[in-house]
């Protein structure tokens, strides 16, 4: 804890001394040189001390970093602090939870049916495999007939 306080005090002192140095550099530049803006062709608009000060100060500011954080909510109702998987909003555990919840939604909206002594799930248009991991389409329903196929065009995967 003491080390943390010491580091904070040292950082504050360094920041103050940096600002003093930048201020003195800007003052010397204004006193010794006539500085005009780049776009001023007539050389009528001089740069002020504050403009030079801000430009030099911005050189020493660290670049802004965007840190992505998982959009999931933990069991204790706080925001998850883990990094998300690339191209996702959620970390590994919350992606898995969202997949599980989608499976539960699919399970409640689908009806179980037996075709040729094998269990499948159906909705109004398609027949789904009973495999809990994939719930992939294995057929379609046409005029109340159950048609099993692996053709992706017939299963609407390229609509």
Using one digit for the tens of pLDDT, what is the confidence trace for 113-136?
Answer: 888 888 888 888 888 887 655 677
Averaged over 95-117, what is the pLDDT? Answer: 65
End-to-end CA distance of the chain: 61
pTM of the model: 0.36
Q: Which pLDDT score is estimated for 159?
A: 45
Q: Which pLDDT score is estimated for 108?
A: 55
pLDDT band for position 99 (50/70/90)? Answer: low
**Could you give phi then psi for residue 106, rounded to 5 degrees?**
-60, -45
Q: How far is it, in rounded angstroms, from Cα 104 to Cα 132?
A: 10
Tokens at 12, concatenated: 């504050």
Q: How far is it, in rounded angstroms, from Cα 114 to Cα 99?
A: 25
Q: Which pLDDT score is estimated for 103?
A: 46
Using one digit for the tens of pLDDT, what is the confidence trace for 14-68?
Answer: 888 888 988 898 888 888 888 887 776 777 778 888 888 888 888 887 777 777 8
pLDDT band for position 104 (50/70/90)? Answer: very low
């Amino acid at each position: 804890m003491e080390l943390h306080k010491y580091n904070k005090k040292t950082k504050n002192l360094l920041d103050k001394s940096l600002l003093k140095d930048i201020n003195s550099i800007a003052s010397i530049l204004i006193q010794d040189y006539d500085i005009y803006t780049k776009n001023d062709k007539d050389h009528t608009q001089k740069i002020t001390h504050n403009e030079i000060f801000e430009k030099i100060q911005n050189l020493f500011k660290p670049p802004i970093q965007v840190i992505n954080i998982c959009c999931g909510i933990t069991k204790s109702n706080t925001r998850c602090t883990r990094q998300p998987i690339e191209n996702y909003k959620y970390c590994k555990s919350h992606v898995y939870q969202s997949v599980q919840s989608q499976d539960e939604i699919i399970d409640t909206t689908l009806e179980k049916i037996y075709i040729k002594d094998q269990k499948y799930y159906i909705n109004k248009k398609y027949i789904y495999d009973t495999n809990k991991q994939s719930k992939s389409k294995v057929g379609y329903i046409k005029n109340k007939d159950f048609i099993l196929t692996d053709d992706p065009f017939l299963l609407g995967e390229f609509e």
